[in-house]
């Protein structure tokens, strides 16, 4: 039997199906005599619940990271909400009912309020209210809130899972989450994603599925109950491939990027938007080596405001919690066009009015971005990187503008990271040739290998006819890379690569021997490159 | 009484966590603090109240502070809105 649902995380799970039974929190209405004692029972239970949540929060921070754990902080705040608390104590007092009943009724009322809102996110919060109320009730009834779990790992089927339930589950016993309700925004979905196990929602499974064998296909968004042998075989093969990938991930997480002979290199991630940060953290990148800021301009109908930019940069910086975040300033033009910039049509856009050339001739746009980046730098470890540099005078001009913006912020009393690092992209042959001079002006270089290759080989990357001529390992390019590293180091700048070549594991050893300090690759390549680094001995 | 109008810029709107932080901030002041959206007014010291407004990105809210330290409260809370939402 095949039942369709919606996938919230891909992957394959094969195992016994187990329907998750919630603790029975059936509440009876009783009349009480001593209002004061009953109110105290509630207050005590509320305190215990808050202490438990503080503990769960700590556990969740370790398991799924601070951002995803924040829900438990919110739960603690909800338990402090005066409307909620007063509703309960008023019921105990005026209706002389037991605390369990007052909590259950109030919880239902508040959860109904959220369930009836016209917003998916808020509707999802109904589960939060139920969750905190059930916790208090369990404590009042003297139950532990831990779920009973089977002895062997299972595919967990449930109506819905409260966030605290998913965190308290013994993860080693869960192969997949499958729920009837829940949304792609639900905490369960987010937790499943960070736990890296397949999960489906909207699956109306039959009650007699309990104990049967099942396959969860998180790629296609379906569950197969009681599969035939052939299907089982296909999925076992699929799962094996997935497992190999996952094992690599698990083994390499938390490991250093160090060669067999002890050479270290920083491994950062390239991102194109705020939403990519989750995969940066999931893949254990040491920082963000290239934060393309274009998305702010491409997604907007007009110039993005300082506030909009500030909020995006700040979010990324905060989520990265002190790890380096290198923001590249506007790189519009060439293959990335935005209508409201009203750029003229050019015969040779790759050699045209783009990137830093726009910024230096339209300083109002540039300054808005620099202000936003500087303000955000107060909230994390931000560096700024400038694209398409061809001369030292450009860098000097940039530094002047940056100094002006800093002076404005100082005058307004707005805080920012005073010693913010600045760097340039090395992606033109001119920049390579003057890299010794450039190295004295900036803190770091990052090589954009895609553009550098096309400008060096005089080959348009967009023209498929030239594919046979395009050689990303061309000796001219490799010589340039060595030159850039040596010159950067001479001037006191660290040197990295943020182009596609950085993830080319056939060159990782070459890069290490050349003396690169950093490689910045797409998040999904981090662990693969780390694996390669750890297998290399540069003395051989 | 002090008033401050603000249009929410955070793409998620006033979701649970900022609502909680805002409530914490509001609770630091003795004066009454309310938020109004489209005529509906709630006590800004109560997280469920603030969340029940369901404020989305692009919507305007009015913050009102009334009583002891209303000036300081209005200044601190408008700053919070601008920085976080």
To the nearest whole Å, the CA of B15 is away from the closest chain A CA by: 8
Task: Give the strands of the sheet with B60-66, arranged side by side.
Answer: B2-7, B60-66, B32-37, B40-43
Annotated catalytic residues of A are 187, 498
From residue A58, give the alpha-carbon distance in Å to each of A52, A63, B85. 10, 9, 26
Contact status of A313 with chain B (Cβ, < 8 Å): no
Is residue A145's pLDDT more than 50? no
Q: Across chain A, which distance is largest between two alpha carbons, in Å?
A: 90
Residue-wise pLDDT tens digits, A513-531:
999 999 999 887 898 899 9
- CA A185, A191, A193 angle in degrees (round to 5)? 85
Q: Which of A66, A125, A129, A305 to mutate to test the interface with B (most CBs of B within 10 A)?
A: A125
Residue-wise pLDDT tens digits, A243-261:
887 787 778 888 999 999 9
Q: What are phi and psi of B36, to 5 degrees?
A: -120, 135
Whether B12 and A121 lie within 8 Å, measured CB to CB: yes
Whether A81 and B56 lie within 8 Å, measured CB to CB: no
pTM, rounded to two decimals: 0.57
Contact A384, A327 (CB under 8 A): yes
Which range of A134-143, A235-244, A434-443 scores highest in mean pLDDT? It is A434-443
DSSP labels, A454-516: HHHHT--TT-GGGTTT--TT-HHHHHHHHHHHHHHHHHT-EEEE-SGGGG-TTSHHHHHHHT-
Whether A307 and B12 lie within 8 Å, measured CB to CB: no
What ipTM goes with this model?
0.86
**Closest C-alpha to A156, from A195, A105, A100:** A195
Q: What 3-state DSSP class applies to B16?
A: helix
Counting the structural domains of chain B, the total is: 1
* Domain chopping of chain A, boundaries: 23-140, 263-533
Name every residue in B having a CB less than 8 A away from some CB of A: 9-10, 12-13, 15-17, 20, 23-24, 43, 45-49, 51-52, 54, 56, 82
A110 neighbourhood in chain B, CB within 8 Å = 48
- Residue B39 CA to residue A32 CA, distance in Å, equals 40
CATH of span A263-533:
3.20.20.60
pLDDT exceeding 90 applies to what percent of chain A? 58
Q: In this complex, which of B15, B24, B47 lies closest to A78 when CB atoms are compared? A: B47
Whether A77 and B24 lie within 8 Å, measured CB to CB: yes
Beta strands (DSSP E) in A329-435 are: 381-386, 421-426
Topology (CATH level 3) of domain A23-140: Enzyme I; Chain A, domain 2 (1.10.274)
Contact status of A339 with chain B (Cβ, < 8 Å): no
The alpha helices in A253-305, defined as continuous H runs, are 277-282, 294-298
Provide the CATH number for the domain around residue B18: 3.30.1340.10
Residue-wise pLDDT tens digits, B34-76:
999 988 899 999 898 899 888 988 899 999 999 888 998 999 9
* The two structure tokens encoding residue A180: 């009837």
Is B82 considered catalytic here?
no
Whether A311 and B15 lie within 8 Å, measured CB to CB: no
Q: Where in the sequence is the domain holding B38, given as residue range(s)?
A: 2-84
Contact status of A230 with chain B (Cβ, < 8 Å): no
């Amino acid at each position: 039997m095949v039942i369709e649902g919606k996938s919230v995380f891909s992957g394959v799970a094969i195992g016994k199906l187990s329907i998750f039974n919630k603790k029975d929190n059936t509440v009876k209405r009783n009349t009480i005599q001593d209002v004061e004692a009953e109110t105290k029972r509630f207050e005590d239970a509320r305190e215990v619940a808050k202490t438990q949540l503080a503990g769960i929060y700590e556990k969740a921070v370790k398991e799924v990271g601070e951002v995803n754990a924040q829900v438990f902080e919110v739960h603690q705040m909800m338990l402090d909400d005066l409307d909620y608390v007063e509703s309960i104590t008023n019921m105990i007092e005026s209706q002389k009912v037991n605390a369990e009943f007052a909590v259950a009724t109030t919880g239902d009322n508040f959860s109904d309020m959220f369930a009836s809102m016209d917003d998916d996110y808020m509707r999802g919060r109904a589960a939060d209210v139920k969750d905190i109320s059930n916790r208090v009730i369990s404590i009042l009834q003297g139950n532990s809130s831990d779920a009973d779990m089977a002895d062997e790992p299972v595919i967990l089927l449930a109506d819905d899972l409260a966030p605290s339930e998913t965190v308290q589950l013994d993860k080693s016993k869960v192969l997949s989450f499958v729920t009837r309700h829940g949304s792609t925004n639900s905490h369960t979905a987010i937790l499943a994603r960070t736990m890296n196990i397949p999960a489906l929602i909207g699956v109306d499974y039959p009650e007699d599925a309990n104990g049967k064998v099942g396959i969860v296909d998180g790629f296609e968004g379906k569950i197969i109950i009681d599969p035939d042998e052939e299907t089982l075989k296909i999925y076992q093969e699929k799962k094996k491939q997935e497992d190999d990938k996952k094992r690599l991930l698990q083994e390499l997480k938390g490991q250093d990027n160090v060669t067999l002979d002890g050479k270290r290199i920083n491994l950062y991630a390239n991102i194109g938007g705020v939403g990519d940060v989750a995969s940066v953290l999931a893949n254990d990148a040491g920082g963000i080596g290239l934060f393309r800021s274009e998305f702010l301009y491409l997604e907007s109908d007009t110039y993005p405001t300082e506030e909009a930019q500030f909020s995006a940069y700040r979010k990324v910086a905060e989520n990265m919690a002190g790890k380096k975040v290198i923001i590249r300033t506007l790189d519009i033009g060439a293959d990335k066009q935005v209508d409201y910039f009203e750029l003229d049509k050019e015969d040779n856009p790759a050699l045209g009015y783009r990137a830093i050339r726009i910024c230096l001739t339209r300083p109002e746009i540039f300054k808005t971005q620099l202000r936003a980046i500087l303000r955000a730098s107060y909230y994390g470890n931000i560096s700024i990187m400038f694209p398409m540099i061809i001369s030292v005078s450009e860098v000097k001009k940039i530094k002047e503008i940056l100094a002006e913006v800093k002076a404005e912020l100082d005058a307004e009393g707005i805080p920012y990271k005073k010693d913010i690092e600045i760097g340039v992209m090395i992606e033109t042959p001119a920049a390579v040739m003057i890299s010794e001079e450039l190295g004295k002006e900036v803190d770091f270089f990052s090589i954009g290998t895609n553009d550098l290759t096309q400008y060096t080989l005089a080959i348009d990357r967009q023209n498929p006819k030239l594919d046979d001529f395009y050689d990303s390992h061309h000796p001219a390019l490799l010589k340039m890379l060595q030159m850039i590293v040596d010159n950067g180091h001479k001037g006191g700048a660290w040197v990295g690569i943020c182009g596609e070549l950085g993830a080319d594991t056939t060159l990782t050893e070459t890069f290490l021997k050349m003396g690169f300090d950093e490689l910045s690759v797409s998040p999904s390549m981090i662990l693969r490159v780390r694996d390669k680094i750890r297998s290399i001995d540069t003395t051989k | 009484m002090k008033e401050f109008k603000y249009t929410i810029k955070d793409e998620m709107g006033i979701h649970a966590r900022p609502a909680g932080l805002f409530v914490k901030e509001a609770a630091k002041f003795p004066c009454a603090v309310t938020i109004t959206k489209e005529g509906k007014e709630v006590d800004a010291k109560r997280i469920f109240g603030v969340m029940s407004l369901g404020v989305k990105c692009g919507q305007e809210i009015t913050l009102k502070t009334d009583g002891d330290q209303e000036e300081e409260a209005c200044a601190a809370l408008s700053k919070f809105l601008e920085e976080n939402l």
